[in-house]
Amino acid sequence: MNSLTQPVRQAVAATQPIWQGNPVDKPAVGTGRGLPLDLQLHAKRGRGGMEWLWFGDRQLGWRDGLPFKFGAQARGGSVVLTPTDRTWIDRLMPEGKDECQRLTPAIHSFWFGYNERINEPAAMPGAPVVNYTERRLLTLVRWAQGYFDTDRQRSYCTGGSMGGCGTISFGFRHPEIFAACSAIVPIVAFDRGPGGDSAMRIEVECGGLEALTSAGLPVKEHLDSTRFATQHPDDLPFLFIVTGRNDSSIPWWKNPAFYRALRDGRHGFIAAWNEGAHGDTQAKLPPDLAQRASLAWLHRFALDQSYLAFSNSSADDDPGQGGKSEGTPAGAFNRGLDFEPPVESSTSYEAAVLWYLEPARLPVTVDITPRRRQQFRPAPGTRVFAENVGADGVVTQRIETTVAPAGTLTVPGFSLTSARQMLRLRLAE
């Protein structure tokens, strides 16, 4: 006997999350139409208040059907997506490096992934390390963009501590999704050496840092963000990053090389450091840099809008080579520099270059690389003329430059002698 008045219709469809809260509180489809999407990655302590439940397939974990919870709602002018990085592995992990790993049958992956045979210790050697958590994040971002109908040009990634690690290893590596990222006290390269030990954060879950990922690279090499920034001259998400010299949880020593890789790669970034410990580095930021760490400030960036990337500023401080006592105790790369939205065509490009700190520090010279150019896209090898125009309309510099083989275009030695000057580019005749 059929108990239904109408037949059940069946169809193959994409997996959908299950709302766990009061049905009347469930966000409706399209409630974030046109809003930016903010992906917020938590630190190792985790988070509560997750209203959605997802059962993943075999692509998202070591076994089919693994559940994970997350939050997603429109609030404060954006859609906020708050995933969780905690995976049940069906066993305790006595070989773990801290109590979180040893006392519960679940692991953190530092927003990356883990050994495919994590549930069987004897089978882990030789098994691939799979970026399951990154796959989860990609799945959730795509779902949130579609369900809430967010602005696809304006997605952002942020986090601190373990969340900062994920911002660097995941968000920063997806320029097709994220317009900008903010990483607070992250690990930029997992390693062990005289400056400290960050390898212990993931080596047990992966089966060692030399274990191969499913892409064929050793874990240590794959997660080396200095290597990544050096090998990718293309347009990456704008990055704000701050780290502390006295951080005993996430050692300082790998950060200066990463900062210089960002600079030498002409990427768009602000890098700051101070003598803070793990818990107070962000609080020690001066007000202007604290503002630039915020999502409210990062929302100015979009995938379909060009911006200016600064490098080799004469106002840059010195982070040293990795020793805690080397270089400037507290400083930054690219502090004091800003820009107004560029205006461009197929033959010209112009933007105001700003100096917002004390005028007494002028003049400042800086290399400028227009990133994410939408219309002004001359081919590699093309000669381009740059002009530096003062507030009085007088041209103070004329610089000829050439589009690099990778398509990047850098104007070297732009001199700022006032708080606002114009950069103008045109094709050589």
The tens digit of pLDDT for each residue in 365-424 reads: 999 999 999 999 999 999 999 999 999 999 999 999 999 999 999 999 999 999 999 999
329 lies in the same domain as 357: no
Apex 184 CA angle, 183 and 185, nearest 5 = 115
Pair 373, 344: CB distance under 8 Å: yes
Decide if pLDDT at 428 tops 90: no
Is the same domain home to 259 and 249? yes
11 vs 196 pLDDT, higher one? 196
Asked whether residue 6 is assigned to any structural domain, the reply reads no
Is residue 82 classed as helix, strand or coil in its secondary structure? strand
**How much is the pLDDT for 429?**
74
**Is residue 101 scored above 80 in pLDDT?**
no
- What single-letter DSSP state applies at residue 341? P
Q: Which of 91-100, 173-182, 271-280, 308-317 has the lowest mean pLDDT?
A: 91-100
Instruction: Decide if 181 is inside a domain.
Output: yes
Same domain, 266 and 347: no
**Is 411 in the same domain as 293?**
no
340-381: per-residue pLDDT in tens? 999 999 999 999 999 999 999 999 999 999 999 999 999 999
What CATH number is given to the structural domain containing 422? Answer: 2.60.40
Whether the predicted pLDDT of 1 surpasses 60: no
DSSP conformation class of 340? P
Kindly state whether residue 131 falls inside one of the protein's structural domains. yes
Helix ranges (H only) for 161-316 are 162-169, 203-206, 219-222, 225-231, 255-264, 287-292, 295-298
Say if 180 falls within a structural domain: yes
* DSSP category for residue 203: H
pLDDT, tens digit, for every residue of 287-309? 999 999 999 999 999 999 999 99
What is the C-alpha end-to-end distance of the chain, expressed in Å?
Answer: 84
pLDDT, residue 9, reads 83
State residue 160 phi and psi, 5-degree precision.
-125, 150
Joined together, the tokens standing for residue 242 give: 């701050």
pTM of the model: 0.96
339 touches 354 (CB < 8 A): yes
Report if residue 9 sits inside a domain.
Answer: no
pLDDT at 116 over 70: yes
Q: Do 366 and 280 share a domain, yes or no?
A: no
Q: Find the largest Cα–Cα distance for the chain.
A: 89
Domain final position from 290, 309, 339: 339
Torsional sign, CA 144, 147, 150, 152: positive
> What CA–CA distances, in Å, run from 170 to 137, 164, 165, 224?
9, 10, 8, 12
At residue 2 the predicted structure's pLDDT band, cuts being 50, 70 and 90, is low
Structural domains in the chain (count): 2
What distance in Å separates the CA atoms of residue 173 and residue 425, rounded to the nearest whole number? 29
Give me the residue label for tokens 């559940």. 67
pLDDT of residue 98: 74
Same domain? For 419 and 317 the reply is no
Whether 78 is in a domain gets the answer yes
Residue at which a domain ends, from 306, 339, 372: 339
Does pLDDT of 46 surpass 80?
Answer: no
**Angstrom distance (rounded) from CA 100 to CA 94:** 10
- Do 232 and 344 belong to one domain? no
Bridge partners for 126 per DSSP:
none
- What's the domain range around 348? 340-429
Asked whether residue 249 falls in the same domain as residue 180, the answer is: yes
CA distances to 184, 254, 313, 382, 422 from 287, rounded to whole Å, are 15, 26, 20, 41, 26
The domain that holds 258 is classified in CATH as: 3.40.50.1820
Using only C-alpha atoms, the chain has a radius of gyration, in whole angstroms, of: 24
Q: Based on the domain organization, do 319 and 367 belong to the same domain?
A: no
Residues 305 and 355 in one domain: no
Which run of H or E residues covers position 64? Answer: none
What pLDDT sits at residue 112? 98
Residue 10 lies in a domain: no
Residue 11 domain flag: no
For residue range 117-165, what is the model confidence (pLDDT) as tens digits? Answer: 999 999 999 999 999 999 999 999 999 999 999 999 999 999 999 999 9
3-state class (DSSP) for residue 241: strand
What's the chain's average pLDDT?
96
Same domain, 164 and 198: yes
The span from the CA of 41 to the CA of 78, in Å, is 16
Summarize pLDDT for 196-245 with one digit per residue, the tens. 999 999 999 999 999 999 999 999 999 999 999 999 999 999 999 999 99
What mean pLDDT comes out for the span 68-87?
96
Same domain, 322 and 369: no
* Residue that is last in its domain, among 314, 339, 364: 339
Nearest CA-CA partner of 273 in 288, 261, 256? 256
% of residues, the chain, pLDDT over 90: 92
With a cut of 80, say whether residue 91 has pLDDT above it. yes
Percentage of the chain exceeding pLDDT 70: 100
